[in-house]
Amino acid sequence: TQLLEQSPQFLSIQEGENLTVYCNSSSVFSSLQWYRQEPGEGPVLLVTVVTGGEVKKLKRLTFQFGDARKDSSLHITAAQPGDTGLYLCAGALGSNYKLTFGKGTLLTVNP
């Protein structure tokens, strides 16, 4: 059983469209992070959310942590080809900061 379920698994859109990626669990996380990974590279941290209901914005990216700290979403406005990549959510249980990762959403933004 996957602790963190990400949806959709694949997403192919045109430049300029908006999109939302979801990360859901039945577990409560002390913090949740979003990473982006490009081919041949390691994941790169985008944001960390720690408070239930928290919303963070990073330029065209908006991240939300659910009130119960069990789920999160990533919304991209006016997607660009440079946004193409694998988006991973990862949750930390307790205080040891061991991260459990979702399987990821592979986003392709076509020019």
Partner 1 sequence: NAGVTQTPKFQVLKTGQSMTLQCAQDMNHNSMYWYRQDPGMGLRLIYYSASEGTTDKGEVPNGYNVSRLNKREFSLRLESAAPSQTSVYFCASRGGRGAYGYTFGSGTRLTVV
Chain contacts with partner 1 (rule: CB under 8 A): 2, 31, 33, 35, 40-45, 48, 50, 88, 90, 92, 96-104
For partner 1, the closer CB: 59 or 97: 97
Residue placing its CB nearer to partner 1 in the complex, 43 or 66: 43
Q: What are phi and psi of 106, to 5 degrees?
A: -90, 110
**CB of residue 34 to partner 1, shortest distance in Å:** 10
Strands 61-65 and 55-58: antiparallel
**Closest approach of partner 1 to the CB of residue 74, in Å:** 16
Residue 88 CB, nearest distance to partner 1 (Å)?
7
Q: How far is the CB of 47 from partner 1 (least distance, A)?
A: 9
Q: Is 96 left (phi over 0), alpha (psi -120 to 50) or beta?
A: alpha
Of residues 13 and 93, the one with the C-beta less far from partner 1: 93
Please check whether residue 89 is in contact with residue 27, taking contact to mean a CB–CB distance below 8 angstroms. no
